[in-house]
Homo-oligomer: A and B are copies of this chain.
Amino acid sequence: MDFSSKLLENAVYEMSQLPGIGKRTALRLVLHLLKQPERQTENLSNALTKLRTMVQFCKKCHNISDTVLCEICSNPKRDASLVCVVEDIRDVMAIENTGQYRGLYHVLGGKISPIEGMGPQDLTIYSLINKVKEGEVQELILALSSTMEGDTTNFYIFKQLEGTGVKTSTIARGIAVGDELEYADEVTLGRSILNRIPFEGSFSNK
């Protein structure tokens, strides 16, 4: 793409560094900003810079937070003996939205993935192990995505915790509510039969 202005070219280049944003989309976004009041671009730039420079992570669960301890960790009504291990802060938001969970979280910041050069030391796994060894945690819910990387990470954590006596569980895999059986993949359907639950229990929604 040939640009008529270096300033434009530079803005489009930086915008296209974002994931899923190609050069054409970047150009569309940048031209949109040019048509809006200067204020909007200023607000966007300031919000991004402020977030990037002032961002803090909760000391306990590594969730993004404006305070040393996040709102969830510092809430005395939450069950501190139950910790849900997730990959990303988006997972925390998704689980919080269900309104079903009253324990705490632990944000790993990714999964073990040798291909992407992510080892246990790049994640917050050791902080999790220490937290468990301190003794307050009684159950760990491993809620990583069920990919090879997720399974590897689950297994690594499980192995590291051997002997601590902490209970580990994983979220139920099965057919999504509203889905039709005939379209489900074999692995999920197979697991949902192996891990079937008593019918009376399937309504509990407290």
Best-surrounded residue of A28, A52, A92, A96 (most CB of chain B within 10 A):
A52
Stretch at the interface among A32-40, A136-144, A170-178, A185-193: A32-40
Stretch at the interface among A12-20, A153-161, A196-204: A12-20
B-chain residues with CB within 8 Å of residue A38 when the two chains form the complex: 52-53
The count of chain A contact residues (Cβ–Cβ below 8 Å) is 60
Closest chain B residue, CB of each to CB of A105: B4
B-chain residues with CB within 8 Å of residue A27 when the two chains form the complex: 90
B-chain residues with CB within 8 Å of residue A25 when the two chains form the complex: 20
B-chain residues with CB within 8 Å of residue A21 when the two chains form the complex: 29
Residue from B6, B8, B50, B58 within 8 A of A11 (CB atoms): B50
Residue from B8, B10, B31, B89 within 8 A of A88 (CB atoms): B31
Contact call B45/A49, Cβ cutoff below 8 A: yes
Contact call A47/B2, Cβ cutoff below 8 A: no
B-chain residues with CB within 8 Å of residue A46 when the two chains form the complex: 45
Residue from B10, B43, B50, B93 within 8 A of A51 (CB atoms): B10
- Would you call A123 an interface residue if the criterion is a C-beta within 8 Å of the partner chain's C-beta atoms? no
Contact call B45/A33, Cβ cutoff below 8 A: no
> Once the chains are docked, how many angstroms separate the CA of A8 from the CA of B63?
11
Contact call A52/B42, Cβ cutoff below 8 A: yes
- Would you call A79 an interface residue if the criterion is a C-beta within 8 Å of the partner chain's C-beta atoms? no
Q: Chain B nearest CB: distance from A191 CB in Å?
A: 28
B-chain residues with CB within 8 Å of residue A2 when the two chains form the complex: 93, 96-97
B-chain residues with CB within 8 Å of residue A194 when the two chains form the complex: none
Contact call A48/B33, Cβ cutoff below 8 A: yes
B-chain residues with CB within 8 Å of residue A58 when the two chains form the complex: 4
Contact call A52/B64, Cβ cutoff below 8 A: no
- Would you call A5 an interface residue if the criterion is a C-beta within 8 Å of the partner chain's C-beta atoms? yes
> Once the chains are docked, how many angstroms separate the CA of A14 from the CA of B70?
23
- Would you call A115 an interface residue if the criterion is a C-beta within 8 Å of the partner chain's C-beta atoms? no
Given A4-B71, A5-B64, A40-B17, is A47 in contact with B11 using a C-beta cutoff of 8 Å? yes
